[in-house]
Amino acid sequence: PPSNQPYRTAYHFQPRKNWINDPNGPMLFKGIYHLFYQYNPNGVKLRGPPVWGHSTSKDLVNWMPQPLTMEPEMAANINGSWSGSATILPGNKPAILFTGLDPNYEQVQVLAYPKDLNDPYLKEWFLAPKNPVMFPTPQNQINATSYRDPTTAWMLPDGNWRVLIGKSKRRQRGLSLLYRSRDFVHWVKAKHPLYSYERSGMWECPDFFPVYKNGNTMGIDTSVIGPNIKHVLKVSLDVSKHDVYTIGGYDTKKDAYTPDVGFMNDSSLRYDYGKYYASKTFYDGAKKERILLGWANESSSEEDDAKKGWSGIHTIPRTIWLDKSGNQLIQWPISNIEKLRQKSPVFKLYGKLIKGGSLNEVSGITAAQADVEISFKIKDLENVEKFDASWTNPQLLCSQKGGSVKGGLGPFGLMTFQASKGLEEYTAVFFRIFKAYDNKYVVLMCSDQSRSSLNPTNDKTTYGSFVDVNPVREDLSLRVLIDHSVVESFGAKRKECVTARVYPTLAINEKACNLYVFNNGKSDVEITGLTAWSMKKASIA
Ligand code: DQQ
C-alpha cells in the first residue's frame, strides 16, 4: 500500500492491506485473545476464495498478525472458507466450525482443530477428516446457497452440543437451523429450527447467548442456563445489511426460543444504527464479560479503496449486557481502550453554558485520533419543537434535520473532522429533542455525514435513531471515538451506537483537523462535563 494514508485507522483493527470483512472465531485461549476474519489476501475487493486472517492479542487493543489459515485444503472448503465461530471443548480444546464452499460452490459446514494445543497462538489448524460435518441432502431440503455461518456451540445438561446455522427458505422466511451432537463431529438436524420469522430473508451470522436480568453487567458463558437469565438472538439481515436482535426466553425442554422484545426484521432493535455488520460475541472468562466484535465496511469508492490498498475495519470491541429495563442491550467500548488515552494534553470543561447558535472549540488535542466524553444538561424546554406523529423513520428525520438545520432544543453535540470555522467539511454527532402530543419528550440521536467530505464519490448517508431517555431527568451523554476515517458514537447512557465511515479531504492533517461542540438550537444547553483525550496508536498490523 502507498505510504500516504490519511484514512488508515490508528486504533481500530485492520490488516496491513487488502480486503477484510466479518470477524470470525473470537476466543480467549490460555490468556491469549484470538481474532480471525474473512480476508482476501490478493486484493481490496471480496473476490476469489476467502481465507481466514488471524491475529492474537493480550488486551484486545494491540494485535500480532499470525499466519493465514483455513486455506483450501479439502473438497469441503476448496472454493473458500466463509464465516464461523469457535467453541472451547472440555479439556480446554478449541474447535472451529465454519462454512466451506465445496467443488460445486455449495455451502457446507466444516470442522477444524488446532494442530498443537501447546501453542497458545494456535498458529496452525487442520480440517477434521470427516468433513463436511453438516451439508445439504435431498432429504433435508436445504438450499445450498443460503445455509451458513455456524454459531459458537453450547451444551445443555443432556450432554448434547447445539449449534445454529443461518438459513433462508421459500418465500423469504429466515431461520436459524438447530443441530445437535454428542461428539462435535456427528451432527443431527433438529426437526424444528430454534426460531424463524417470515419474509426476513437470509439470516447471516446468527449469534445466540445468555445475558443476566436486572442490569447485571457481567457476561455469561454460552452454555449457562438458569432463572436469572434471558437469551439474545441476533442475526445479520442480508437484505438490509443490519444487525438486528431480539431478547427472549430459551425453553431448553423444547429447544425453542421465543422473543419478548424485538422482531427479526428491520424495524427491530439494532446493535448499531450506522455502518456495522456481521458481528459476533464471545465470552471473556478472564474479565467475565461478553465482548462484541463487528465489521465496518468502507463508504468510499472502489477506485479510492484500490488507491489506499485496503478495505474494511473492525469496530472497537464492546462489552455487552442487558439493560435493567430488559428492553434493550447496552454496549460500551472495552475498558482496555482507555489505556490509549494520552495523559496530556487533555481538554476538560465543566459547567459551561453552550449558547444557542454557538460553536465552541475543543482545542489542543489530536482531533483525528481522539476519545471524547461529554454530557449535556437541558436548561430550558421553552423552545422545544413539536413532534409530528408521522415521523416514524428516525434515520430519515436525521437526514432531513441534519447538523446545520436550526432547531428549538438542539441540534447540539460534536462536530468532528472539521476543517475550519467555515464549515466546508464536518461530521456532526448530535441530539435533537421534540415534544410529542402526550407531552413526552422524544430524543433523536444522529450522525450526519452529509458534509463529511468534499469528495463526491463517498457514501455520505446520515444515520440515527430515537433513544429511550428522559432528557428532563437525566443528562444526555455522548462518547465519540474518532479515528481518521471512522466516527464511532455511543449516546444516551450507552443506549445507542452509531458507526460512520468518513473521508475528509481538508481536515486530514494535524493543523486542519478540529473539534467543536456546537449548538444550532434556540435554547442554551449546559455542558456538565467534557473530557477529550488524544489517542495513542495501537500496535496492530
Ligand atoms: N460474509 C461471509 C458469509 C457471511 C457473510 C462471506 C456476511 O459467511 O454470510 O465472506 O457478511
The pLDDT averaged over each successive group of 10 residues in the chain (541 residues) is 89 98 98 98 94 98 98 98 98 98 97 98 98 93 94 98 92 94 98 95 97 97 97 97 98 97 92 98 98 98 97 98 97 98 95 95 93 95 94 97 96 90 88 94 97 96 96 95 98 92 88 90 97 97 81
- What are the residues whose beta carbons fall under 8 Å from the beta carbon of 271, sequence distance 6 or more? 234, 243, 245, 279, 292, 294, 329, 331, 497
- What are the residues whose beta carbons fall under 8 Å from the beta carbon of 42, sequence distance 6 or more? 18, 48
- What are the residues whose beta carbons fall under 8 Å from the beta carbon of 299, sequence distance 6 or more? 275, 449, 458, 459, 460, 461, 500, 501, 502, 503
CB of 22 sitting under 6 A from ligand 1: yes
Looking from the CA of residue 46, the nearest atom of ligand 1 is 10
The alpha carbon of 370 and the centre of ligand 1 are apart by a number of angstroms equal to: 31
Residue 51 pairs in a beta bridge with 39
Which residue minimizes the CA distance to atom 7 of ligand 1? 278
Q: How many CA atoms lie within 13 A of 400 on its CB side?
A: 8
The alpha carbon of 204 and the centre of ligand 1 are apart by a number of angstroms equal to: 7
The residue whose CB lies within 8 Å of the most ligand 1 atoms, and thus the one to mutate among 205, 238, 297, is 205
CB of 207 sitting under 6 A from ligand 1: no
Which residue minimizes the CA distance to atom 5 of ligand 1? 204
The alpha carbon of 492 and the centre of ligand 1 are apart by a number of angstroms equal to: 31
The alpha carbon of 367 and the centre of ligand 1 are apart by a number of angstroms equal to: 34
The alpha carbon of 278 and the centre of ligand 1 are apart by a number of angstroms equal to: 7
CA–CA distance, 147 with 82 (Å, rounded to integer): 11
Q: How many CA atoms lie within 13 A of 85 on its CB side?
A: 30
The residue whose CB lies within 8 Å of the most ligand 1 atoms, and thus the one to mutate among 36, 82, 85, is 82
The alpha carbon of 39 and the centre of ligand 1 are apart by a number of angstroms equal to: 11
Spacing of C-alpha 155 from chain mean position: 26
Q: Give the pLDDT of residue 1.
A: 72
Q: Provide the 3-class DSSP secondary structure of residue 414.
A: strand
Q: Give the pLDDT of residue 169.
A: 82
CB of 53 sitting under 6 A from ligand 1: no
Which active-site residues does the annotation give? 22
CA–CA distance, 115 with 238 (Å, rounded to integer): 34
CB of 21 sitting under 6 A from ligand 1: yes
Looking from the CA of residue 295, the nearest atom of ligand 1 is 11
Q: List the Cα angle 423/424/428 in 5-degree steps.
A: 55
Looking from the CA of residue 83, the nearest atom of ligand 1 is 8
Q: Give the pLDDT of residue 170.
A: 78
Q: How many CA atoms lie within 13 A of 492 on its CB side?
A: 27
Residue 145 CB neighbour total at 10 angstroms:
12
Looking from the CA of residue 238, the nearest atom of ligand 1 is 7
DSSP string, 58-120: SSSSSEEEEEEE--S-SGGGTT-EEEEEEEEETTTEEEEEEEEE-TT--EEEEEEEES-TT-T
385: left (phi over 0), alpha (psi -120 to 50) or beta: beta
CA–CA distance, 449 with 506 (Å, rounded to integer): 15
Look at the alpha carbons of 358, 361, 362, 367 in this order and tell me if their dihedral is positive or negative: positive
The domains found in the chain, sorted by start residue, are: 18-333 (2.115.10.20), 339-535 (2.60.120.560)
Looking from the CA of residue 204, the nearest atom of ligand 1 is 9
Q: Give the pLDDT of residue 371.
A: 98
Q: Provide the 3-class DSSP secondary structure of residue 171.
A: helix
CB of 82 sitting under 6 A from ligand 1: yes
Cα–Cα distances (Å) from 4 to 10, 265, 308, 508, 509, in that order, read 14, 41, 8, 11, 11
Q: Give the pLDDT of residue 98.
A: 98
Tell me if 62 sits within 8 A of 539, measured CB to CB: yes
- The C-alpha cell at 71 is 486455506
CB of 205 sitting under 6 A from ligand 1: yes
CA–CA distance, 79 with 147 (Å, rounded to integer): 15
Q: Give the pLDDT of residue 423.
A: 76
The residue whose CB lies within 8 Å of the most ligand 1 atoms, and thus the one to mutate among 45, 148, 240, 242, is 148
CB of 278 sitting under 6 A from ligand 1: yes
Looking from the CA of residue 98, the nearest atom of ligand 1 is 8
The alpha carbon of 466 and the centre of ligand 1 are apart by a number of angstroms equal to: 29
The alpha carbon of 322 and the centre of ligand 1 are apart by a number of angstroms equal to: 27
Q: Give the pLDDT of residue 493.
A: 83
